[in-house]
Structure 1
Amino acid sequence: MEERRLKTLDRVLSKAGLGSRTTARTWIGSGRIAVNGRIIQTPDHWVDMERDHVTFDGRPLKEHKPMYILLYKPTGYLTTADDPENRPTVYDLIRDVETWLSPVGRLDLNTSGLLLLTNDTQFADRVMSPEGKVPKTYLVKTNSHLADADLSKLREGVELSDGVTGPAIVTRLRDNASSTFLEITITEGRNRQVRRMIEALGSRVRKLVRTGIGSVSISELE
């Protein structure tokens, strides 16, 4: 049996458009999901996509065609479906989409820019895999002036709590007395990576916009 055919049950349900994996775990725990006629209440139960028969309330799962959405995420929106504080999320922006879509990477609350959502989990995995080295490009405004030596550190890699970052492509766009404006391209996908890279230099990010994922540019939204 090829490993690539195996997926956890919660992932199978999410891919089938039944909601987030959190929602899928709720369905599983309530006993509404069966695999080959047997009720399964374990979210990490392995499913063979070619051999196993999965049902929801006795009905077979529907196959959904791959869907890809490019979205401009404003600041103030979370890249999640469930927020205990009931803050706005990117799913508020796509309420008319019936199929469940997952974000390909996340943008934090105060970051805006290009966000890709899809139900094609294999595609999402390729984009986010460190081995894929898919470039992500950001426009950055710092809260202090950065010297050329600082930019060299970003290009070579800076020490973060989870290790040294990989090389980045860094272009100085302009400066003023209190800020530096940069374009930064990275091929990793660590949590809050660009912000932490700037903080490692003793500065902070004042504004952050993602403008590109691979060959896809934010200009395509215009």
Structure 2
Amino acid sequence: MTTSADHTPRADGERLQKVMAAAGVASRRASEDLIAAGRVTVNGRVVRELGSRVRPDDRIEVDGLVIVTDPDLRYYALNKPAGVVSTMSDERGRPDLSRYVTAETGRIFNVGRLDEATHGLLLLTNDGELAHRLMHPSFEIDKVYVALVRGKVAPRTLAELREGIVLDDGPIAADRARVLDASRDQTMVEVTLHSGRNRIVRRMFGHVGHPVMELTRRQFGPVHLGTLREGQMRPLTSDEVGRLLKQTGDAVAPQGAAPEND
């Protein structure tokens, strides 16, 4: 097991607990407790010395999750309303995401897309490397949707979606699909996919004879929509960002294939 002796204290840099507190991990006192408990590593080695200092290029992890210490990097969750297009500037003059850019957010951009009629969780950031990973199909990030569809969805239809169907652009299968509520003429279904092909949820349900009436994305990887109201935006927590970084790993996404969009 590694100990604080594995990390050579630096004479320069900021105190570790101060950097952790500034990154939103916890208060400075709580950060000290995390360090003392051996839950913090710097460059892969456990640090228990409260006087340890770190530099901007040091990799800090708490419980295995990377802590983003660059104050210029920003990460947000938006509950996108229906009728808003997933672009920062729309040449047709439709409502777009530029309305959510403020002096506080600085220049940010959307991670993937939701079609104009779909509402729900959309991530925005200025971290281009992480955004590229999250959009790339090779990382298979789970996305959870709730779809209100026409008709009563039978168990065999859910099984068909899970086992896989063939659309015009190739086969697709839901990772999970379950009924949340149903009546004679409509059904609310929760479906989980790691694919982000264009209008994929709508096309899947249309293929099995249940056109989508309303569609909401509730989750993107470890980030949940929760109680965020439509049209509102919030910063991601340090835990959420750390989990996104962990889920996409340390390798840069391959450059050969185009990222997928929802």
CA contact (8 A) 1:64 1:99 kept: no
* 1:174 shift after superposition: 1.2
RMSD: 1.8
1:104 aligned partner: 111
Moved more, 109-118 or 143-152: 143-152
2:202/2:211 contact within 8 Å kept: yes
The one-letter amino acid of 1:144's match is: G
Tell me which residue corresponds to 2:17.
none
CA distance in structure 1 between the aligned counterparts of 2:198 and 2:72, rounded to whole angstroms = 30
Partner of 1:149: helix, strand, or coil? Answer: helix
Alpha-carbon offset, residue 93 of structure 1: 2.6
Cα distance change of structure 1 residues 88 and 97 upon mapping to structure 2, 3 Å threshold: farther
Instruction: Extract unaligned runs of 5+ from structure 1.
Output: 1-62
* Other-structure match for 2:101: 94
Larger radius of gyration: 2
| Paired residues of 1:100 and 1:119 also in contact (CA < 8 A) | yes
How much does 1:220 deviate?
Answer: 6.3
Q: Which amino acid aligns with 2:122?
A: L
Instruction: Find the residue that maps to 2:158 and give its secondary structure.
Output: helix
Count of residue pairs the alignment pairs up? 160
How far apart are the structure 2 equivalents of 1:81 and 1:125? 17
Kindly state the Cα deviation for residue 166 of structure 1 after the two structures are TM-superposed: 3.4
Q: Percent identity?
A: 36
2:143 to 136, 139, 145: 136
User: What is the TM-score when the length of structure 2 is the normalising length?
Assistant: 0.58
Structure 2 CA distance, aligned partners of 1:66 and 1:174?
A: 40
Render the CA deviation track for 1:35-84: whole Å, top value 9, x for unaligned: xxxxxxxxxxxxxxxxxxxxxxxxxxxx9822111111011111112222
Structure 1 residue 142 displacement after superposition? 0.1
Deviation digits for residues 119-158 of structure 1 (CA, Å, limit 9, x no counterpart): 1111112212212111000111002221111111111111
1:71 and 2:78 matched: yes
Cα drift, residue 100 of structure 1: 2.2
CA apart distance, 1:85: 2.2
C-alpha contact 2:150 2:211 (8 A) present in aligned 1: yes
| TM-score normalised to structure 1 length | 0.67
